[in-house]
Amino acid sequence: MTITCRAVTACLCALLLGASGCRLVTNSRMGMQIKVNKYFDEDGHTYPELDDAIFRLKMRVSGVLTPQKFVKEVGVWIFLTAPHDPAKMPILLVHGHWSGPPVFKELAESIDTSKYELWYTYYPAGLDINETVAMFQINLARLANYYHTDEVIVLAYSMGGPVARQTIATADPSLKLPVVPLFIGVANSWDGSMKTNAGAKTAITADPEKAASYGAESWKQVYAGAPFVRGMFRHPLPQETEFHMIYSFGGDDPKIPGRDDGVLHEASLARKEALAEAASVTVFDQPDHQTIIGHYLCIKRINEILGAFEASRSASPPPTP
């Protein structure tokens, strides 16, 4: 392990879970039009669990291959699995391509829930990333406003890193997103993925009327050298956001030149612009891309970063507004 330190609108429905858990009402106190989701009970007391059918592989694959259909049937979510506690700091977990909330199961079990509560994202990873970002910005701003939450920690895995970074860095000030004092990225595709290069050539834009796309729209954006990838760092992170990177070289894919994690190449995992923003960079040689987020070394490092964050806040509490 190596650790180095450096100074450092969508027209689609925005979904949120209020204090009533899975009861998604059609008229919120903020005037939002909320889609009632058919997958969960509406008794006001039932919260989704990570092993619910909606999060299983078949649905996650649908989010990649037919993202517009996923949006119509499921939506783009930020949700809780337990009642909100205003005394706890939220941690927003952003999954990546082909994955979903269950990928954070081992990590979630390690988080000190006396101090933190977990906010999960669920989105179709095949959707145009700019659309996903726009909906996350709306959802996060409205959910934070609903809960009177001023700060949210963000932790993002794989392609969730670019999604989360753009959500934080490109938000219109008028949306009034909560402050993100801490952003942790794990195995992120900062310079795209060589494995999506072939897919990008066959990906087509979905027809919303037919609710189908045969190939992920996002593949056009996350292949190595794509315009979206090249422009990803055009907007800097806010000054108040402390960024930490974690990745590994635990893969050995002969189709990827140089070091890799089995999915992403070194130039993507360790893009120089990302390294320049990072307060710390942690590199492992054991886990591969698919297993790093649940690997004990990664989980240990995440909790170390959270511990250091807590200590720094205790030593110098934020000024009173």
Segment among 32-36, 41-45, 55-59 with least mean pLDDT: 32-36
Q: Inform me whether the pLDDT recorded for 142 exceeds 80.
A: yes
Instruction: Give the pLDDT confidence score for residue 318 in this predicted structure.
Output: 57
Instruction: Indicate yes or no: pTM above 0.85.
Output: no
pLDDT digits (tens, 9 = 90+) for 284-311: 998 999 999 999 999 999 999 999 999 9
Q: Inform me whether the pLDDT recorded for 100 exceeds 90.
A: yes
Q: Inform me whether the pLDDT recorded for 37 exceeds 80.
A: no
pLDDT digits (tens, 9 = 90+) for 149-160: 999 999 999 999
Higher pLDDT: 143 or 213? It is 143
Sequence-distant (≥ 6) Cβ neighbours of residue 60 within 8 angstroms: 98, 99, 100, 125
Instruction: Give the pLDDT confidence score for residue 21 in this predicted structure.
Output: 31
Instruction: Give the pLDDT confidence score for residue 1 in this predicted structure.
Output: 52
**Phi/psi at 120 (nearest 5 deg)?**
-95, 145
Q: How far apart are CA 153 and CA 135, in angstroms?
A: 18
* Averaged pLDDT score across all residues of the chain: 81
Instruction: Give the pLDDT confidence score for residue 214 in this predicted structure.
Output: 53
Identify which of 251, 256, 254 has the alpha carbon closest to the alpha carbon of residue 195. Answer: 256
Instruction: Give the pLDDT confidence score for residue 113 in this predicted structure.
Output: 93
pLDDT digits (tens, 9 = 90+) for 161-182: 999 999 999 999 999 999 999 9
- Quick one: pLDDT band at residue 19, thresholds 50, 70, 90? very low
- Which three-class secondary structure string do you get for 240-287? CCEEEEEEECCCCCCCCCCCECCCCEHHHHCCHHHHHHEEEEEEECCC
By the 8 A CB rule, do 140 and 177 touch? Answer: yes
Farthest-apart Cα atoms in the chain, separation: 56
- Quick one: pLDDT band at residue 74, thresholds 50, 70, 90? confident
pLDDT digits (tens, 9 = 90+) for 208-251: 455 444 557 787 888 888 889 999 999 999 999 999 999 999 99
- Quick one: pLDDT band at residue 269, thresholds 50, 70, 90? very high
Higher pLDDT: 55 or 8? It is 55
Mean pLDDT of 242-270: 95
- Domains and their CATH numbers in the chain: 2-314 (3.40.50.1820)
Share of the chain above pLDDT 90, in %: 55
- Quick one: pLDDT band at residue 319, thresholds 50, 70, 90? low
- Quick one: pLDDT band at residue 6, thresholds 50, 70, 90? very low
